[in-house]
Structure 1
Amino acid sequence: MSLVKKFATVGGATLGSRVLGFARETLMAAALGTGPMADAFYAAFRFPNLFRRLFAEGAFNAAFVPLFAKEIEEGGVDGAKRFSEEVFGVLFTVLLLLTIAMELLMPLIVAWIIAPGFVGDAEKFDVTVKLAVVMFPYLMCMSLTAMLSGMLNSLHHYFAAAVAPVFLNVVLIGALGYALWQGASPLDTAWYLSWGVLVAGLLQMAVLYAGVRHAGIRIGFRRPRMTPNVKRLLWLAFPAAVTGGITQINQLIGQMIASTKDGAIAALQYADRVYQLPLGVVGIAVGVVLLPELARALKGGHRIEAANIQNRSMEFVLFLTLPAAGALWVISDEIVRVLYERGAFSPDTTSIVAGTLAIYGLGLPGFVMIKALNPGFFAREDTKTPMRITMLSVVVNCILAVSLFPLFHERGIATAEAVSGWLTALLLFVTLVRRGHWPLERALAWRVARLIVATLVMAVSLEYASGFLADRLAPSSPLLEQLAALGLLIGFAMVVYFSVAFLIGGADLGMIRRNMKRKAKAVQGEGSAE
């Protein structure tokens, strides 16, 4: 299967999940808006969800996949099964003890980590603690699910692991639909959602366990022991988790600061949901697929092929994310208004969320580049260097967030995260180049410059086009008419961007063919991969 086809498999499944996520957030906006219960739910959910994103979206794979693949190669299925059971025994025991401790300490965790700003509001604080207690076992479910996902990815079964998050959105949409049908209060709605999160976690774990059994491996429980393989896994996993979760770590910091302003956490969440669509479809797909592909090429000594994989992946992510960033900057108001502005979601809230989304859009290419750059380190079993870079960017994010939030509120948080994301991507890229792990291509640099030009042309065209459709995008228009107008804008932007990109040489049919059909063996001979 070609590299881009693998990207498409994971990206397509992720796209389905993110579309359902939009439906979920639309119902959420109608039911709760940016009121106190929305703040309480999102604050309580952020903590276990942070770990879900740290593990389930590639960081755990960075440590587990190479070791699991090695066991398959050296010991066959029996060796891989033994290694999996060793990891499962330790992981389950540690997670069980962690969950018990966190449940007992939840009031302190909410007060010091999740939402310090809620301490002054006794009701909001108490609700957040109770919701977090219900949802925290979701962390245990998703961490074990991450291990199962790593096994499936190593066995080249990408779809099952990618489609699992769909179940979370389906369950939560059901909970919201029931709440709206019953006319439930915001507090009852938050309770329905919290229990829905726990049910979804159990369901996802069950589906992936069935997938692993179908792939030919049955996992039993072993007494937890710190074997050499388990120690090696833990040694690699911690820095990989920190590195892979830079965006989520920065968002948690932003939430802590935003908790001092009513409605700020919910506003950040609504903006996050929109820009997570291109980030998830492109970034996660590249991160999941690129690591095993790059590790295989490097292990076989095919350095020219490895360079080709890296450059083509960067070409692919920028080809798709630069126009997404331009569109989010220009039509963020229209997007937020059409998706969210109804029920408890007011025009003032639209303005706040749209401004936040526009800034997140500027950071989008940086966030996705991180997903494409990290495998260059992980495939070489170097998880410490990107962790050091990540910690530096976290410090920068903290300083900027604290400085900008009093002045620009939610937009200040988004600015801090965007700057931090671009700093991380730049430092990762420079480090790989200086070490000789990323051979520079002049052709790639020229293509990126031309893609930027195509994006600017698209953005200007989109600005004028949105003015022509302003009446159809107004809240007074029927919802279907608003959706049709927004779809027309997006379609117009795509036609302009792709036309200009191909016309000026930012993309060509040769680039598409190279990405759609990659040679099975390493390229031998002179010259860089073009």
Structure 2
Amino acid sequence: MSLVKKFATVGGATLGSRIFGFARETLMAAALGTGPMADVFYAAFRFPNLFRRLFAEGAFNAAFVPLFAKEIEANGIEGAKRFSEEVFGVLFSVLFLITVIMELAMPLLVRWIIAPGFADDPEKFDLTVRLAIVMFPYLMSMSLTAMMSGMLNSLHHFFAAAVAPIFLNIVMIGALFYAIYYGSDPLATAWYLSWSVLVAGVLQLAVVYIGVRHAGINIGLRFPRFTPNVKRLLVLAVPAAITGGVTQINLVIGQAIASSKEGAIAALQYADRIYQLPLGVVGVAVGVVLLPELARALKSGHAREAGNIQNRSIEFVLFLTLPAAVALWLLSDDIIRVLYERGAFTASNTALVGSILAIFGLGLPGFVLIKALQPGFYAREDTKSPMRFTGIAVFVNSALSILLFPLLAERGIALAEAVAGWINTVLLLVTLLRRGHLTWEWALARRTGLLLVSSATMGGMIVYLLHRWEPLLATGSSLLTKTATLSLLILISMVVYFLVAFLIGGVDLGMIRRNLKRKPPASKPVSGPAGPDL
């Protein structure tokens, strides 16, 4: 399967998850708006979500996948299975211990980390603690899910791991439908949502476990032992866990600062949900596919092939995210109005969330490029360099958030995150180039400039159409009229962008197709059944 098809497989499944996520957030906006219950639920949910990124996706996408690929190359499926069981036993034990400690310490965590601004409101504080206690075991399910997803990605079985997150949105949508149908108050709705998160975690784990079994590996639970392989994993995983959670770390910092203003946490969350669509579809797809591809190429001694794969991935990212950033900047209010403005979500909410989304759009290419650049370190078992860069980005984000929040409120937090993301991107890129792990291509630099021209041309078209179609997109228009107008505007903009990009040479489709469809270099044959690709 070519890289393009792998990107499409993961990106398509992620797009499905994001679409369900939009449906979920639309129902959330109608049921809770930006009121106190929305603040409480999002604050409580942010913490297990942070630890999911820190202990699950960051650690295992960065540390587990290269070591798992090495085991496949050296010892085949049986060696990989043995390594997986060793890791599973240790991971399960550590996660269980962390969960127990965090549950007991939840009041302190809410007071000092999750939402310090709630400390003066005993009702909000107590409810946040109780909801977080219900949802925190989600961490165990999702961390084990991330490990098995890393196994599936290394075995080139991408679909099951990519489709699993959809179940979180489906279960939460079911809880919201139940609450709305029976006219539940916001408090009851928050409780339904909290329990649905826990149920969804178990379902996601079941999906990837079935996928691993289908791929030919049956994981058994072993007594935890710190073997040399497990110790090596931990050495790589600790800095990788911090690095992989940089976005969540920044969001938690922003949440802690924003908790002093009612409605601010919910406003940031609603904007973040839209921003996560292109970040997820492009960034997650590239990150998930690129790491095992680079790891396998480097373990097989094909460094030049690895460099080419990474350059083409960067080009793919820029081709899709530059126009998305322009569109988010110009269409933010209209997107929020169509998706959220109903029920408890008012026109003033639209203006606030739209302004946050526009700023997030500025950071979109940077955050997606991080997903394309970090695998260049992780595939070489270097997790410390990205961790150092993440530390710098978190420091910048914290300082700017504290400085800008009194001046710009929620918009200041969004701007701080965007600036921190671009600083992280520049540090990663410069370091890869300096070490010779990434080859500078003047042709790629030229095409990047032309893609910027294409995006600017598309932006001009959007401004022109917005001026002419403003009455159709206004608050007083029907939902059908606003949706149809916005959809047509986006469609026209896409056509303009792609036409200009191809006409002026911003993208060479033939070159991308040739490079991304190249067969991976031959490696050591893998023994044991692999099963058909899910």
Report if aligned partners of 1:119, 1:125 keep a CA contact under 8 Å in 2.
Answer: yes
| CA displacement at 1:48 relative to structure 2 | 0.7
2:98 aligns with 98
| CA displacement at 1:478 relative to structure 2 | 2.2
1:174 and 2:174 correspond? yes
1:362 aligns with 362
SS in 1 for 2:149: helix
Q: Gapped runs of 5+ residues in structure 1?
A: 523-530
| CA displacement at 1:51 relative to structure 2 | 2.5
Superposed, 1:152-191 pairs within 5 Å as 152-191=152-191
| Higher mean displacement: 408-417 or 499-508 | 499-508
SS in 1 for 2:226: coil
Report if aligned partners of 1:286, 1:372 keep a CA contact under 8 Å in 2.
Answer: yes
| CA displacement at 1:519 relative to structure 2 | 4.1
* TM-score, structure 2 normalization: 0.96
Tell me how far apart the structure 2 counterparts of residues 431 and 202 of structure 1 sit (CA, whole Å): 40
| CA displacement at 1:57 relative to structure 2 | 4.4
Report if aligned partners of 1:56, 1:149 keep a CA contact under 8 Å in 2.
Answer: no
Superposed CA deviations along residues 273-331 of structure 1, whole A, max 9, x for unmatched, are: 00100000000000011111112222222222222111111100000000000000001
Taking a change above 3 Å as real, the CA distance of residues 241 and 185 of structure 1, as seen in their structure-2 partners, is: same
SS in 2 for 1:106: helix
1:526 aligns with none
1:228 and 2:221 correspond? no
Report if aligned partners of 1:4, 1:515 keep a CA contact under 8 Å in 2.
Answer: no
SS in 1 for 2:506: coil
Tell me how far apart the structure 2 counterparts of residues 110 and 521 of structure 1 sit (CA, whole Å): 50
Q: Which amino acid aligns with 1:86?
A: E
2:38 aligns with 38
SS in 2 for 1:69: helix
1:462 aligns with 462
| CA displacement at 1:518 relative to structure 2 | 2.0
Q: Which amino acid aligns with 1:291?
A: L
1:513 and 2:513 correspond? yes
Taking a change above 3 Å as real, the CA distance of residues 305 and 73 of structure 1, as seen in their structure-2 partners, is: closer
2:526 aligns with none
Report if aligned partners of 2:14, 2:280 keep a CA contact under 8 Å in 1.
Answer: yes
Tell me how far apart the structure 2 counterparts of residues 33 and 110 of structure 1 sit (CA, whole Å): 22
* Higher RCO, 1 vs 2 (CA within 8 Å, ≥6 residues apart): 2
Q: Which amino acid aligns with 1:511?
A: M
Q: Which amino acid aligns with 1:121?
A: D
| Higher mean displacement: 431-440 or 189-198 | 431-440
Superposed, 1:9-408 pairs within 5 Å as 9-54=9-54, 57=57, 59-408=59-408
Report if aligned partners of 1:330, 1:358 keep a CA contact under 8 Å in 2.
Answer: yes
Q: Which amino acid aligns with 2:383?
A: T
Q: Gapped runs of 5+ residues in structure 2?
A: 523-534
Q: How many residues align?
A: 522
Report if aligned partners of 1:57, 1:288 keep a CA contact under 8 Å in 2.
Answer: no
1:527 aligns with none
Q: Which amino acid aligns with 1:14?
A: T
| CA displacement at 1:372 relative to structure 2 | 0.3
1:498 aligns with 498
| Higher mean displacement: 470-479 or 166-175 | 470-479
| CA displacement at 1:56 relative to structure 2 | 5.3
Tell me how far apart the structure 1 counterparts of residues 352 and 384 of structure 2 sit (CA, whole Å): 38
Runs of 4+ in structure 1 displaced over 6 angstroms?
none
Q: Which amino acid aligns with 1:170?
A: I
Tell me how far apart the structure 2 counterparts of residues 285 and 519 of structure 1 sit (CA, whole Å): 19
Superposed CA deviations along residues 402-431 of structure 1, whole A, max 9, x for unmatched, are: 000011011000000000000000010001
Tell me how far apart the structure 2 counterparts of residues 422 and 296 of structure 1 sit (CA, whole Å): 29
Tell me how far apart the structure 2 counterparts of residues 354 and 382 of structure 1 sit (CA, whole Å): 38
| Higher mean displacement: 149-158 or 28-37 | 149-158
Taking a change above 3 Å as real, the CA distance of residues 100 and 55 of structure 1, as seen in their structure-2 partners, is: closer
Tell me how far apart the structure 1 counterparts of residues 470 and 181 of structure 2 sit (CA, whole Å): 32
Superposed CA deviations along residues 363-402 of structure 1, whole A, max 9, x for unmatched, are: 0000000000001101111000110011011101110000
1:6 and 2:16 correspond? no
| CA displacement at 1:58 relative to structure 2 | 5.3
Tell me how far apart the structure 2 counterparts of residues 182 and 247 of structure 1 sit (CA, whole Å): 36
Give the share of equivalent positions with the same residue, in percent. 73
Q: Which amino acid aligns with 2:234?
A: L
Tell me how far apart the structure 2 counterparts of residues 509 and 150 of structure 1 sit (CA, whole Å): 30
2:528 aligns with none
Superposed, 1:414-429 pairs within 5 Å as 414-429=414-429
